[in-house]
Structure 1
Amino acid sequence: MAQTTARNPVNAVQKAIVTTLRADGALSGMLPGGVHDEPPERITGDYLRLGDHLSTPDNTMTTFGRQITTTLHVWTKSEGNKRGQDIANRVIELLDHKPAALDVDGHKIVIIRCEFDQALRDPNPLWRHHVIRFRINTEQED
């Protein structure tokens, strides 16, 4: 039976990313503040926040697909970038080129790859900020 309607998997992909990251004991140990879509107002420990996304159609003659870019933000209270980079490296290790890591109902993850990770200085000298962006290609399953 041919597909007739495209379904956007963005919410399911983002939920799968959060679930995957929260399930990793090593990453959880590095992030006492946790992994959040929207962090609590008064967070004190290092944490990861799901950022913005961009979703575009990536259809073929026979399938519906999406290309999704999603950004993750790592926030650490540390001097220098090492701690944040260690966290970013663990996130990349968990997701980069590991489509099976994300279970998305109704969609197959074709590929997930890290486009970049960047260390930034925050105006507040107590915090360090690392940005990680992933590109995810999906195909809708029947």
Structure 2
Amino acid sequence: MLPVQGALVQALGGDAALGALISGVYDYLPETAAYPFVVVGEATGTPDNAHDRYGQETVVTIHVWSQYRGYSQGLTIGARITAALDHQPLTIPGHDHIVTRWETTQTLTDPEPPGNVRHVVLRYRIVTEQPPT
């Protein structure tokens, strides 16, 4: 899963349209990060093998954090992330990228006072294979 996480951070960090909307893309959030920002978060990996190859499906959670009133800013950022990832090529060192598919988007409000943080959670399924030897 580590190569997939690195590929996502690189792809999203290198997307100029996304960069115009956020302060940064992180896999570790510095305390000084300014809103809005994106965090490549949790992942689950499962085997996707066949008789002649080894493969993996990785479901990755990407978090959008915003202090904008309402969800429009977070959802706009989420839409840009989906445009950058869904069915788009992804360079993953040591793996052949088969497909990335958007799975879900969920909006949340942080309940901690003052309640001004909006959270958009996106999940993507990334299918990879080991290259033939």
TM interval, shorter chain, is: over 0.9
Counterpart of 2:15 (choices 1, 13, 24) is: 24
- Equivalent in the alignment of 1:5: none
Post-superposition Cα deviations, 1:74-128, rounded to whole Å, max 9, x if no partner, equal 0001000000000000000000011x2x111221111110001111111142210
Q: TM-score, normalised by structure 2?
A: 0.94
Counterpart of 1:68 (choices 51, 58, 66) is: 58
The answer on 1:47 being equivalent to 2:37 is: yes
What is the count of residue pairs matched by the alignment? 130
- Equivalent in the alignment of 1:109: 97
- Equivalent in the alignment of 1:13: 4
Give the deviation of 1:44 after TM superposition.
Answer: 2.8
Post-superposition Cα deviations, 1:51-91, rounded to whole Å, max 9, x if no partner, equal 11000111100000001100000000100000000000000
The answer on 1:130 being equivalent to 2:120 is: yes
Moved over 6 A (4+): none
Q: In structure 1, what is the Cα distance between the partners aligned to 2:32 and 2:116?
A: 14
Structure 1: gaps spanning 5 or more residues: 1-9
- Equivalent in the alignment of 2:49: 59
Q: TM-score, normalised by structure 1?
A: 0.88
RMSD: 0.9
AA partner of residue 17 (structure 1)? L
Kindly, what percent of the aligned residue pairs are identical? 37
